[in-house]
Structure 1
Amino acid sequence: MNKIIAVQDSKGNIYTMPSDSPKCILSVHYSTSYLQFVVQDYYVDNDGNEIFPEKDIIVPLNEKNWVDFIAVQVEEFGTIVDVNGGDF
């Protein structure tokens, strides 16, 4: 399945849309200065329960406009990655 878009977090985890794994992009929000990716993570706790926490990954587009970043509570910054071997 070809991926439309993929983002990598600061730990190297990759989230894609569409996805064939539980680590996926749920939504993308655009600002003139950044893209905000809402992603779903995945892990199994000590009791064997599957956990699907959400987190935000911010990809800066224009860091000169710092006013846009005031409203963002950044969990972490990330980068858009190419998982299909093509150009952006």
Structure 2
Amino acid sequence: MEKIRTLKGRVMSNKMQKSAVVAIERFVKHVVYGKFIKRTTKIHIHDEENECNVGDFIEIRESRPISKKKSWVLVRIIEKNNLINKITNK
């Protein structure tokens, strides 16, 4: 049996119903210069309860295709976005 792929990323958009867009960052080494470059991949995920918000750091796992673009599912929210708390100081 194959191991289920899991990734961690930051929520960029949650304007769709039961869906969100997550940005996955990775570092790749430049072939010629050897410098590590940050690359970002946007993945559409399925969020059944609409529980993740923009800026949350989440864990996702691969699943069967749910729609044309969605084949990843929300596993858990690792860290909530504290932007509102920083502005209101609460």
Q: TM-score, structure 2 length as denominator? A: 0.41
Pick the structure with more strand per residue: 2
The structure with the larger Rg is 2
Q: TM-score, structure 1 length as denominator? A: 0.42
